[in-house]
Structure 1
Amino acid sequence: KKGDTVSSLTVLATLITKQKIAEVSLNEVDVAKIKIGQKATLTFDAIPDLSITGEVTEIDTVGTVSQGVVSYTVKIAFDTQDERVKPGMSVSASIVTEAKTDVLLVPNTAIKSEGQINYVEMPAENDLALAKANPNGAILKNPLRRQTVEIGLANEEFTEIKSGLKEGDVVITRTIQPTTATQSQQQSAGLRIPGLNTGGIRR
């Protein structure tokens, strides 16, 4: 009551809120990219059809060391509540650290490198019409040409092309080398390209 004296660490009150918070552990490399206010998407092992957006609200300033690995706890507040989510459930978080609009993207499999140079392979001019007509694969008769590119952001599937390509260009995503048994036949027919992709703008 009023006038009472309490010692430190004494619990005076417990505040209960319906706001759900997800806690995820990140290593020191990943946590360096995280900032308060960044948006995230949460998924749950126990509720496979549920996806909830959220926002980073807190980042540990001091990491925890376990077996020589430093990790940091990041707290993410749910944007919406779902009664199926219970305390202690396993959660995975995809945090957007940077976003761009109107960028040119190509599949990661199309990007190759040699030293510090990044490049893509493209059909020769004489094979361009054939390649465009067969986006799922074609037998090209001429050597591929190399196009140097400047890359930007990337995720698990696509890489941003900052320069070197334009929308509509055809790039090679993978090639199949002829086997020994059919090498002479394949060489006369040309190189089979099973993966052709047209660079596009992702919005």
Structure 2
Amino acid sequence: MRNRVKKLALILLSLVLISSFLTACSSSSSTTATTGVVTTVSESSTVEASGNITAKQQTTLSWETSGIVGEVNTDTNSSVSKGDVLMTLDPSTAPSDVIEAQETLVSAKADLESAQMSNTAKAQAAVTLASAQSDYNSALAAYWNKSGTQGTEEQIAVATAKLQIQDNKIYDLKKKLDALSDLPDNDSGKAQALQEYNQALIDRTSLKSNLDYLKATPDSLDVQTLQAALDLAKAKLEDAQRAYNEVKDGPSSDEISSAQAKVDAAQSTVNMLSITAPFDGEVVAIQTQVGDQVDSGTAAIILVNRSVLYVDILVDETDISKVEIGDTATISYSAMPDKTSTGKVTFINPVGTSSSGVVNYTVRVTLDEADADILLGATATVDINTGAATESLAVPVEAVQSDDSGEYVMRVNSDGTTERVTVVSGTVSGTSVMVTSSDLSAGDVVQLTSSSSSSSSSDSSQQQDAGSLLGGATGGGMSSGGNPPSGGGAPAGPGQ
């Protein structure tokens, strides 16, 4: 009996302790409220789509005939220029038609060169003929000019007029000098008049000599010299005419075109023996080596021009009107999560393609920098910036609640009271959600709905701990309903 009373006392003491513990915990939970702050974030209007990284130029160069690889003139990751011969076949291992084409090419080039030289000779002969004709005309004119007087009629007329003017001048000076004859010879005026008169006589002598020359006829030696020059010019003209006649009927333009076509055909066949770079680029893979037996169509080299990288994406018809040439974009990569690139929209295909009732338009985004570490063909996510950034309000996701009246947050005022503020939620970004509200401002404090559930969870945990404590105090605890646990009753006293 004494033992049973002792156990009941312990149970009552435990219940009192548990009640005090739960009350304290409940009080602590209810007085601690979780809150958040309204912030502003910058939002940009974007269009997102995915595509694959593509180089400006990329091609697989393949053999066009069969044979054994004789030379490999490049290495992987080597830069090459357009026209570089990258590989060749051993000519002796090529098919017979390719070997014959080499011989045909030599003869075809010789025929073409001959035809082109004939055409050049014709042009040169025409130039020589024109020059000879000009020389002959000059010699003939010189001969006829010297057959009469030394000067032309116009030259003689001008010289005669000048001499007449000079004679008149001399006459006037003579009269002036005669008027001064009574003066002594040392008179300055008389001396000046005499000097002018003498100079006029000298000038007349020069003018008379020029006129006499112009009126004179050439002597027989001059005529013979001119005749010889004329005969020589005529002979050269006749030679030039004969040379031109010999080549003027050379090959026609059709014959030259035919010769060129034969060269091109033979060259095309001979080119099958080599792999030539069609553009400037980088060799990223070599697929045949010296000594390999290859056939027509066997891949030889993969050549890439990485100077420009781009992504072609498909944009839905509902978004395509937002995208413009020049829009900036951000590119991220599935294979390189830590790397991003920038780019611009450089092409929009105005013709859409329909698939399963959805119309899409191809948009090309060209990267600003063609980084060497960007993998070709890699999946890229493109975010095109289609509008200027706007400021929006953001609250923690846990702050937004809703009921029959709509969405709202509970704002905590400076005096500790709360009030309901209506909001409209938008884009979720991480742990925040964009909201629209005319009554909410950045810096406002709002309640988070998670505080209530956290308190309840804490209370539940505390009750479980209290239950454990009770069970420990009673040697088994109380089961549901407050009944003693099975086998937990008071033992029978002695005599029972």
Give deviations 1:74-123, integer Å, cap 9, x for gaps: 2111112211223322110122222336x353137345677997643323
Residue 339 of structure 2 aligns to a residue whose secondary structure is strand
- Of residues 108-117 and 45-54 in structure 1, the stretch that sits farther from structure 2 once superposed is 108-117
- For 2:340 and 2:406, how far apart are their aligned partners in 1? 39
The alpha carbon displacement at 1:150 in A equals 7.4
- For 1:27 and 1:171, how far apart are their aligned partners in 2? 39
Residue 57 (structure 1) aligns with: 346
Residue 31 (structure 1) aligns with: 320
* 1:74 aligned to which of 353, 363, 375: 363
Residue 165 (structure 1) aligns with: 440
Residue 147 (structure 1) aligns with: 421
Distance 1:67 1:98, change over 3 A: same
The alpha carbon displacement at 1:154 in A equals 4.7
User: What percent of counterpart residues are identical?
Assistant: 30
- For 1:76 and 1:116, how far apart are their aligned partners in 2? 45
Residue 311 (structure 2) aligns with: 22
Distance 1:182 1:47, change over 3 A: closer
- Of residues 171-180 and 35-44 in structure 1, the stretch that sits farther from structure 2 once superposed is 171-180
Aligned pairs (5 A) from 1:95-174: 95-100=384-389, 103-107=391-395, 109=397, 110=399, 119-123=408-412, 126-127=415-416, 144-149=418-423, 154=427, 156-157=429-430, 158-159=433-434, 161=436, 163-174=438-449
Residue 20 of structure 1 aligns to a residue whose secondary structure is strand
Residue 186 (structure 1) aligns with: none
Structure 1 gaps of 5+ residues are: 5-12, 129-143, 184-203
Distance 1:49 1:59, change over 3 A: same
Distance 1:88 1:159, change over 3 A: same
Residue 416 of structure 2 aligns to a residue whose secondary structure is helix
The alpha carbon displacement at 1:47 in A equals 1.8
Structure with more of its chain in helix, by fraction: 2
Amino acid across the alignment from 2:315 = L
- For 1:66 and 1:171, how far apart are their aligned partners in 2? 47
- For 1:72 and 1:124, how far apart are their aligned partners in 2? 51
- For 1:86 and 1:162, how far apart are their aligned partners in 2? 45
The alpha carbon displacement at 1:66 in A equals 1.6
- For 1:114 and 1:60, how far apart are their aligned partners in 2? 47
Give deviations 1:108-143, integer Å, cap 9, x for gaps: 734567799764332355436xxxxxxxxxxxxxxx
Q: Highest relative contact order (Cα 8 Å, sep 6+), 1 or 2?
A: 2
* 2:333 aligned to which of 40, 44, 54: 44
Amino acid across the alignment from 1:107 = V
The alpha carbon displacement at 1:179 in A equals 5.5
The alpha carbon displacement at 1:156 in A equals 3.7
The alpha carbon displacement at 1:60 in A equals 2.6
The alpha carbon displacement at 1:20 in A equals 1.0
The alpha carbon displacement at 1:168 in A equals 1.1
Larger Rg: 2
Structure with more of its chain in strand, by fraction: 1
- Report the aligned-residue RMSD: 3.9
Contact 1:44 1:90 survives alignment (8 Å): yes
Give deviations 1:140-186, integer Å, cap 9, x for gaps: xxxx52223578x8564542657422221113454444769969xxx
Amino acid across the alignment from 1:106 = A
Contact 1:42 1:51 survives alignment (8 Å): yes
Distance 1:32 1:67, change over 3 A: same
> Which contiguous aligned blocks of 4+ residues in structure 1 show a shift greater than 4 angstroms?
13-17, 110-119, 176-183
- For 2:420 and 2:358, how far apart are their aligned partners in 1? 42
